[in-house]
Structure 1
């Protein structure tokens, strides 16, 4: 799958990862994809919620110790 944008939120804590996700989603066009990576695990839930609130859907999601990755598509 082609990834149109990458958002690296490493080093950012809540609420910044979700806020930056929202900002990027607003700049995207329909059917563009975004990969969001970060190192603050608690932010994952907020990032996923922000994706669904902004007319996008989560395609993939992975999490491990101090790392998360989300792939989403703007609808």
Structure 2
């Protein structure tokens, strides 16, 4: 049994991913560094998770999603 997204959720996640890629590309074109962008994205995610579940949930959320992303990126799946 998978803890990952179902096909509809994965499709929606790709839409979010595409929006983020566009934003990151725009910020890079404006001269913002990769480090600043990635830090800002991580801070935004941390704030979002905090608002949903509380500050104590941030580190476990990042750990779970790191595993999920790794699994989604495995070739052949």
- TM-score normalised according to structure 2 size: 0.25
Structure scoring higher RCO (CA < 8 A, sep ≥ 6) equals 1
More helix as a share of residues: 2
More strand as a share of residues: 1
Larger Rg: 2
- TM-score normalised according to structure 1 size: 0.26
